[in-house]
Structure formats: C-alpha cells, structure tokens
Amino acid sequence: MNIAIVSGKGGTGKTTLATGLAYTINANYIDMDAGEPNGRHFLDPEISKSIDCEVMIPENTDKCTYCGICANKCQFSALAVIEKTKKFMLFDDLCHHCGLCVEVCPVKDAIKEISKSIGKINSGIFNKQKNINFVEGVLKIGETSSVPLLEQIKSNLVKEQLNILDSAPGSACPVVSVIEAADFVVLAGEPTPFGLNDLEIVFELVKAMDKPVGLIINKYMGNDLLHDFSKRENVPILGTIPFDRSIAENYSKSINIAELQSKELKHISENLLKLTGYHYE
Ligand code: SF4
Ligand code: SF4
C-alpha cells in the first residue's frame, strides 16, 4: 500500500510528518521530493545502492537536411531547426522524451536518441534492527523535471508493503506523479490563510484523481481554519501537532519528530491505519 504525504506549499512540515510516520509504523520511506530530498536527515539511512536515472534526448546526425519537420511536430517546443544556417537546437529542459521527433523524421538515420543522466536513486535501510527500506530520488542540479525519476522509483515499489511517499510541495507534475501511485493521500496542512489556500489547490487535485484522503493539522495554534475546511470538504482529521518552537529547534538538529511527539504520532498512525485498513506487525 502506498500512502502519499502532500502539502499545498513548502514549509508545512510534510517531510517532518512523513519521516515521523515511517519511523512510528515501520513503513518504507520513499523520498519523492527529488528536487530537495531531506528525509535522510531524520532517518539516518545506510545507503547500499545508487543507480543513475537516464532519459533519452534527440540529436541530429550529418544526414539531417534541416527540413524542420521534427521541430514543427514537437508539442513542447523543445526543438528549433533553422534551415538557412543549418542549426538544430534542442532545449532539453523542455523535452519530454516522447521520441516523436525521431518517429516523424523522413530522412533515414538523420536523428537518433542519446541518453542523458538526470539524477540518482539511492536506496538502503533506515532501521537496522527491522530492515526498513529507505529510497530517495535526487535530481541533478539544473535539471527541471523529476517526473522520469519518480516514474522509475514507482516502478520498483512493492505494493504488498507499506510505503510512505514523501511528495514534493505544491501541485505541479511531480505531485501528480506521486498522487497517481497513492492508495491513500494525507494532506499535511498548516492552519494559516496562505496554508489553507495552497492546501485547497492540492486537495482539488486529489479529488480530481479520486483518491481517499485524510488531513493532519501541523503547527496547530487553536484556530478553526483547517477544522472548517475538514467539515466543508468532508476530509477526516487524522490528528494535530501543536505549534511548538522546540519542534523547529529539534528539526534543525535532525531529530525525528516521532521521538518528541510520540503520543501524537501514534494517534495519527492508528487513525491512518484504521482508515486505510492496512494491518502491520
Ligand atoms: S526531421 Fe529529420 S531531417 Fe528534418 S530537421 Fe529534423 S532531424 Fe533533420
Ligand atoms: S523527444 Fe518529444 S519532447 Fe523531446 S524534442 Fe523530441 S518530440 Fe520534442
């Protein structure tokens, strides 16, 4: 079973909660926030394997006639061809690796695909006694899309195990990719007007993808903002974590929240497992 932890925006405590839950219920922790993976700081994993994630990008050859058909067909404007100056330019940040340009080229062997590494997938264990899996995607600096990396991680998830998927913040393509793999989605919410606004955006996404959902209110300060959201949208509250300066101080020392808020984390975990129907030993 895959449980995704998402948040509308950064700074809501998504990774704090994801690592805390993984630690509490001995679930595999999968860091899918590949642009800035930091779950490792709270789980202290032992990494035993690191593999490259590669994508295919087009490159023309000396057979190219610079007719421009490939560039015209590319749906992402990732190619520009200038016949007059014999220029073939790939804007690889825009390329979605679909291979259409190669398919439509009318000249034999004028274009080929070459591989490019966009990052790494590291894996190992984080609880030495219990051998709990730790996986993280790490996007290379300067790369703009982590989606191919996330797809590669997803293809290796063991559905029979309990996997906590720590998503990127926001509601863009990497978040869609994580929600797609989820059997249950946990919204990590911050009870501020800004937090609510962004939470509602990602909630719309979860609704559109028809996934069961629950809410954890982090940094709870006694206001009703997220309780009202929960009632309005019929989203069950799994639990709350109080606003407490010592949590932030311990975060800066890489101390897992489950060590500080064990009662709250246990309560949230029980509610989560009850809602998902997952049994674990
Ligand atoms: S379609 Fe083929 S021949 Fe034409 S510009 Fe593209 S790679 Fe070159
Ligand atoms: S692989 Fe697809 S997205 Fe990339 S340049 Fe070719 S047609 Fe465009």
Q: Which CATH number goes with the domain that contains 73?
A: 3.30.70.20
160 and 237 assigned to the same domain: yes
Distance CA 241, CA 262 (A): 11
- Alpha-helix residue ranges (DSSP H) falling in the chain: 14-25, 40-43, 69-73, 100-104, 147-154, 173-181, 193-208, 225-233, 245-251, 262-276
The pLDDT tens digits for 195-209 are 999 999 999 999 999
Q: How confident is the model at residue 280, as a pLDDT? A: 58
pLDDT at 279 over 80: no
- Same domain flag for 44 and 80: no
Q: Are residues 250 and 201 in the same domain?
A: yes
Ligand in closest contact with the CA of 65:
1
Q: What pLDDT does residue 277 have?
A: 82
Q: Which domain covers residue 265, as residue numbers? A: 2-53+118-276
Pair (186, 248) in one structural domain: yes
pLDDT category, 128, cuts 50, 70, 90?
Answer: confident
Write out residues with Cβ below 6 Å of ligand 2: 58, 74, 76, 78-79, 95-101
* CATH code of the domain in which 256 resides: 3.40.50.300
Residue-wise pLDDT tens digits, 184-193: 999 999 999 9
**pTM over cut 0.85:** yes
Tell me how far the alpha carbon of residue 260 lies from the centroid of ligand 1, in angstroms. Answer: 60
Ligand 2 atom nearest the C-alpha of 98 is 2
With respect to residue 165, please indicate whether it lies within any of the assigned structural domains: yes
pLDDT in tens, 59-97: 999 999 999 999 999 999 999 999 999 999 999 989 999
Is 177 in the same domain as 78?
no
In a domain, 281, yes or no: no
Residues 180 and 250 in one domain: yes
Q: 12 and 148 share a domain?
A: yes
Q: Is residue 131 part of a domain?
A: yes
Which residues form ligand 1's pocket by a CB distance below 6 Å?
Answer: 60, 64-70, 81, 105, 107, 110-111
Task: Over range 34-49, report the average pLDDT.
Answer: 95
Q: Which residue puts its alpha carbon closest to atom 2 of ligand 2? A: 98
Which of 109, 127, 142 delimits the end of a domain?
109
Pairing of strands 2-6, 163-166: parallel
96 and 203 in a single domain? The answer is: no
- Residue holding tokens 């730790």? 134
Q: Are 77 and 171 part of one and the same domain?
A: no
pLDDT tens readout for residues 257-268: 988 778 899 999
- 223: pLDDT confidence band, cut at 50, 70 and 90? confident
Whether 171 is covered by a domain: the verdict is yes
Atom of ligand 1 nearest to the CA of 65: 3
3-state secondary structure of 195: helix
Give the residue, out of 55, 59, 101, with the most ligand 2 atoms within 8 A of its beta carbon, to mutate for a pocket test: 101
Domain count, the chain: 2
